[in-house]
Amino acid sequence: MPLPTSSAPPGKYPSVSIGPAPLLEVRGLSVMFGSGLDSVRAVRALDLDVRSGETVAIVGESGSGKSVTSLSITRLIDHAGGRIVSGRIGFTDRDGHLHDLATETPEAMRRLRGPELAMVFQEPMTSLNPVLRVGEQIAEAVMLHQNVGRDSAMAEAKRMLERVRIPEAARQLTRYPFQLSGGMRQRVMIAIALSCRPRFLIADEPTTALDVTVQAQVLRLMASLQRELGMGLMFITHDMGVVAEIADRVVVMRNGEKVEEGVAERIFDAPEHPYTQTLLAAVPALGSLAAQNLPIPFEVPNAPKPRPQDTVRGAPVLEVRDLVTRFDVRRGLFGRLVGRIHAVEHVSFDLRPGETLAVVGESGCGKSTTGRSIIRLEQPQNGTIHLAGRDVTRLDGTTEKVLHRAVQYVFQDPFASLDPRLTVGFSIAEPIRAHRLLTGAAVEQRVQALLEQVGLSARHAGRYPHELSGGQRQRVCIARALASEPRVIIADEAVAALDVSIRAQVVNLMMDLQARLGVAYLFISHDMAVVERIAHRVAVMYLGQIVEIGPRQAVMGDPHHAYTRRLLQAVPVPDPRRRWREQEVDDTEVPSPLRAIGDLPRLEPLVEVGPDHFVARHRVGGLY
Amino acid sequence: MLAFILRRLAGTVLVLLTVSVFVFGFVRLLPGDPARLVAGPDATAEDVAAVRAEMGLEGSIWRQYAHYLSQTLRGDFGRSAKTRQPVVAEIGARFMPTLWLTLIAMGWSTLFGLAVGVLSGVKRGRWQDQTAMVLAVSGVSFPSFWLGLLLIDLFSVRLGWLPTGGDESWRSFVLPSITLGAGVAAVLARFTRSAFVDVAAEDYVRTARAKGVPERGVIWKHALRNALIPVVTMIGLEFGFLLGGSIVVETVFAWPGLGRLLIDSVSFRDYPVIQAEILLFSTEFVLINLVVDVLYAVVNPEIRLR
């Protein structure tokens, strides 16, 4: 790293920081990965300021260099294979000393990490050490930097847990990370980060892996703690809704460079750079179709205005009645049955050709199990499933073929759901061969036609999954799903793992295919804003039951069930003037679907409250 | 935790019963009359009948198994066909030398293998790592009889420091335990290294660094304990293999252990001894597995508390 440390004019950095000088001042930062000919510049010539008490959001899609920037500031980049090749990272510590973090020694950096610089990461599931107790993990940070004994460090850990509003803090101290929910783990991460009262906090996509209601809780918590402690906060995200919620200033990055910077309101009102404009256009704003009863694809710059998706035709192609899927939980010496997870409880719905029914709800609500039970990836205990009028509840040789040809599945993770050792063409051809739809050269032609149908080209057939981007892979998964000419496609969080702009493209593709082929979608998603774009009807699931179902406009515009309202309120609005920062933090956790034997959940019939709009009028886990 | 151990113990009993059925069936499936084989070609009909009675080969197959099981549970494995000594005494005399050799070999090779593995993992790609891994590959691929002979040649014949064989004093243990442990140390070093490298890339290791934990703490407290989880299984497996007695090492160093007893009893068709040895090896393996499972639960709270 002994390269030029500054590209900025000398004299711009006072040796001692006084008054309004930035807490963090990044100038001309460039970061590279790899060496020799393989080296890649992940960040180039980045300038960035963060002041005390200020929240700066860094926005960008995968590969924009936003995470690399944060790792460079804390110098964790040294352990991730990257190196700072030029630029300086000015940081003023609490004693007023100015450090250049780009050239500090590893030991000096270690001392700064914790009491001065702290980080919260994206994945609360993997960011905590699985073999150490929660209390130990917080107390460790306290003991390292505050010169206190174990007992007082533990007492401090408990205070921190209370501060991040974890109920029964004393008991949680002795638990292990795997015993906590995702939201709880992220609070523990925040407790660790804040345990030494850092002056600067970097949060790298801290809410991306969380459910919307939990995301809302964590965002509010971070905003209030930031004000309490007067920290500088650098918030890295791809989600413009979250940006609008939390940021004072916004820095937009693409391909390692800053393309635009400004006050949040200005960025949202009048984005200057074309990339910022595209990014904002691709952000689905909840409520933007409130006046429209049909779904409409995303608008594409320089293209004709998309038309409403008036594609629903004919009698139901899929009729599900009273579907029940429960999982046994066994414990103890003889594997005694101690409870059941009530994943799906008497779920009923119809799906018509050309229709998209969105199933929404949070992790563990049973939306994925519903989809998996329909194609028998899970074995339901009760219920009937009719496909185009034919009973496919009992699977024998014939009905199995019918079901598996007519109903196809697209999974969330396009990286994991394609075999890395098979070419894309082979994967797409598999359903055609398995169902003996075509033979010989006709298979190849069909594969090519399918690739073109999903916006790829015939030459992609010979590629392997790792040669494609995430968006391209998900297109391949859709092509594979279309190969057997299905009537229904179950899309299980099919766009959740994609970047915003790619997500909009794939949603538009799915809607285009629906218009052309009349395929019906069961669109399982936690993203209400995407659902508003694509769905004709919406079913809201909570603890395994459908609590509200009806036309999208009715359910989202006039929600009747308390849970539906809570879900909709939690969605961040991409408008900095409408942030809910000042509202009270709602810390309720969704109850567990695990119940004792014989303790059956209460079921209430769905009552019609509007045309085709039904609500379960009951209390579910304290909610109505 | 207790329920976990009890459940595993119950499984262990089941496995051992299955093994006993195989061991029991093994003699009865031999071609010809095992009693005549044991009694020898010159034995009279009465001798053969006596041997048959002694071996429990009379009556229905169920009665024979019941007889065999009750004898086994009482620790009575009959007499060796070769020496006419009780099998228990034969095996007992050979068990301790093998056990001691195994413990010593496992002890040093575990410590050494783990240390080298961690060092390689920490210094990944640098000269320490590369040297260690070249040595480890040699250790795995170098035949143990050859290593043993080289060691004897150098330390016993040329330098005269250590005995060539036998188990008389602590000095007799040095060469055989090195020969026996070399392969184990090499396997463990490689295994520990790869486990460590995997763990070092985990998010929680990054979290530890973000907290300002010193590098030593990152390695020993955060990374190693997680890396040990798969290594524990490997140590158990290796231990089980060595406890069976190494035929090669015991032969090279004239070590009076189970490995040589097995060779001898197989070449003499000493069925009672072979049967007892099979049962012993199986029991050892199953018990070690049990210990490994318990250790696994100790290092991994997710297993302990689920």
CA dist A412 and A421 (Å) reads 20
Would you list the domain boundaries of chain A? 24-282
Are A76 and B299 an interchain contact pair (Cβ–Cβ within 8 Å)?
no
Which CATH class, in words, describes the domain spanning A24-282?
Answer: alpha beta
Cα separation, B150 vs B154, whole angstroms:
6
Q: In this structure, what token pair is assigned to residue B186?
A: 């090499």
Could you give the C-alpha distances from A429 to A405, A607, B47, B86, in angstroms and in order? Answer: 13, 45, 73, 68
Q: What pLDDT sits at residue A4?
A: 42
Answer whether A113 sits within 8 Å of B214, measured CB to CB: no
Using CB atoms, pick whichever of A127, A141, A193 lies closest to residue B204: A127
Which range of A164-168, A364-368, A592-596, B7-11 scores highest in mean pLDDT? It is A364-368
**Which member of B6, B210, B222 has the closest CB to residue A118?**
B210
d(CA B123, CA B117): 10
Interface test with B, best of A333, A334, A338 (most B CBs within 10 A): A333
Two structure tokens written together for A190: 């925040």
Provide the 3-class DSSP secondary structure of residue A290: coil
Is A111 exposed, middle or buried (CB count within 10 Å of its CB: 0-12, 13-18, 19+)? middle
Residue to test with chain A: of B7, B8, B203, B211, most A Cβ within 10 A: B211
The residue among A243, A278, A281, A245 whose CA lies nearest residue A262 is A243
Tens digits of per-residue pLDDT, B184-226? 899 999 999 999 999 988 999 999 999 989 988 898 889 988 8
In A, which residues are within 8 Å of B203 by CB distance?
121, 123, 126-127
Q: Which of A556, A417, A575 is nearest to A497 (CA)?
A: A417
| A106: chain B residues, CB-CB within 8 Å | 215
Given a cut of 60, is residue A77 above it in pLDDT? yes
Tens of pLDDT, residue by residue over A9-37, are 444 333 333 445 789 999 999 999 877 77
Residue A382: CB partners within 8 Å, gap ≥ 6?
A322, A323, A324, A346
By Cβ distance, the residue of A131, A144, A176 closest to B225 is A131
Closest in B212, B215, B222 to A113, CB measured: B212
Q: Searching chain B, which residue's CA lies closest to the CA of residue A179? A: B302
For residue A584, what pLDDT band results from cuts at 50, 70 and 90?
low
Question: What would the two tokens of residue A465 be?
Answer: 């999954």
Quick: pLDDT tens for A550-559: 999 999 999 9
DSSP string of A492-554, one letter each residue = ESTTTTS-HHHHHHHHHHHHHHHHHH--EEEEEES-HHHHHHH-SEEEEEETTEEEEEEEHHH
Residues of A in contact with B221 (CB under 8 A): 132
Contact between chains at B212 and A192 (C-beta distance less than 8 A): no
Confidence at A588, pLDDT banded by 50, 70, 90: low
* CB neighbourhood size of B165 (10 A): 18
> Token pair for residue A610?
């509007």
Among the partner residues A111, A132, A333, nearest to B3 by beta-carbon distance: A333
Tokens of A601: 């959940």
Which of B209, B213, B224, B296 best probes binding to A when mutated, by most A CB atoms within 10 angstroms? B209
- Cβ atoms within 10 A of the Cβ of B255, count? 24
Element (H, E) at A338: strand A336-351
User: Cβ separation of B301 and A76 shorter than 8 Å?
Assistant: no
Say whether pLDDT at A541 is over 90: yes
> For A569, which DSSP code?
H
Nearest alpha-carbon partner for B248 in B105, B148, B102, B168? B148
Q: Hey, of A70, A75, A78, A79, which one would you mutate to test binding to chain B, going by the most B CBs within 10 A of its CB?
A: A79
Output the 3-class SS for B126-169.
CHHHHHHHHHHHHHHHCCHHHHHHHHHHHHHHHCCCCCCCCCCC
Q: Which residue, among B271, B300, B248, B283, has the nearest Cα to B77 in the 3D structure? A: B271
User: Quick one: pLDDT band at residue B147, thresholds 50, 70, 90?
Assistant: confident
Closest in B7, B211, B226 to A141, CB measured = B211
Q: How far is CA B15 from CA B74, B239, B278, B279, in A?
A: 19, 19, 13, 11
Residues of chain A in Cβ contact (below 8 Å) with chain B: 74, 76, 79-80, 106, 110-115, 118-119, 121, 123, 126-132, 140-141, 144-145, 176, 178-179, 189, 192-193, 332-334
Chain A residues closer than 8 Å to B3 by CB: 332-333
What is the spatial distance between Cα A513 and Cα A481, in angstroms, rounded to a whole number?
12
How buried is A599 (Cβ within 10 angstroms: 0-12 exposed, 13-18 middle, 19+ buried)?
A: exposed
Are the beta carbons of B202 and A126 separated by less than 8 Å?
yes
Q: Does B3 sit within 8 Å of A145, measured CB to CB? A: no
Closest CA to A340 of A599, A543, A602, A546: A599
pLDDT digits (tens, 9 = 90+) for A379-409: 999 999 999 988 998 888 888 888 999 999 9
Tens of pLDDT, residue by residue over B17-30, are: 888 888 888 777 77
pLDDT recorded at residue A586: 61
Of chain A, the percentage scoring pLDDT greater than 70 comes to 93
Query: Which residues of B fall below an 8 Å CB-CB distance to A?
Result: 3, 6-7, 10, 202-204, 206-215, 221-222, 225-226, 299-302, 305
B213 contact residues in A (CB cutoff 8 A)? 110, 140, 144
Angstroms from B296 CA to nearest CA on chain A:
12
Pair A284, A532: CB distance under 8 Å: yes
Residue A575: Cβ within 10 Å count: 17
Residue A15, helix vs strand vs coil: coil
**Which residues in chain A are closer than 8 Å to B211, comparing Cβ atoms?**
113-114, 140-141, 144, 192
Q: How far is CA A77 from CA A31, A80, B150, in A?
A: 9, 5, 48
The per-residue pLDDT for A624 is 43
Q: What is the mean pLDDT of residues A513-540?
A: 93
Q: How does residue A478 score in pLDDT terms, banded at 50, 70 and 90?
A: very high
pLDDT value at residue A467: 86
Residue of B nearest to A114 (CA): B211
Higher pLDDT residue, A503 or A139? A139
Interface test with A, best of B204, B220, B303 (most A CBs within 10 A): B204
Q: Which stretches of chain B are DSSP H helices? A: 2-28, 34-39, 45-54, 61-73, 87-122, 127-141, 144-151, 170-200, 203-210, 215-217, 224-243, 247-252, 258-267, 271-299, 301-305
Instruction: Compare all CA atoms of chain A with the CA of B298 and give the residue at the minimum distance.
Output: A131
Is the Cβ pair A76, B209 closer than 8 Å?
Answer: yes
Architecture of domain B96-268: Orthogonal Bundle (1.10)
Contacts of B208 in chain A (CB under 8 A): 129
| Closest by CA position to A194, among listed A237, A165, A151 | A165
Contact state of B210 with A189 under an 8 Å Cβ cutoff: no
**The tokens 């009951």 sit on which residue?**
A618
Interface size A-B, in CB pairs within 8 Å, comes to 82
This complex has an ipTM of 0.77
Q: Do A129 and B226 touch (CB under 8 A)?
A: yes
- Of residues B115 and B87, which shows the higher confidence score? B115
* Cα A532 to Cα A512: distance, rounded to the nearest angstrom: 16
> In Å, how far is B229's CA from the nearest CA of chain A?
10
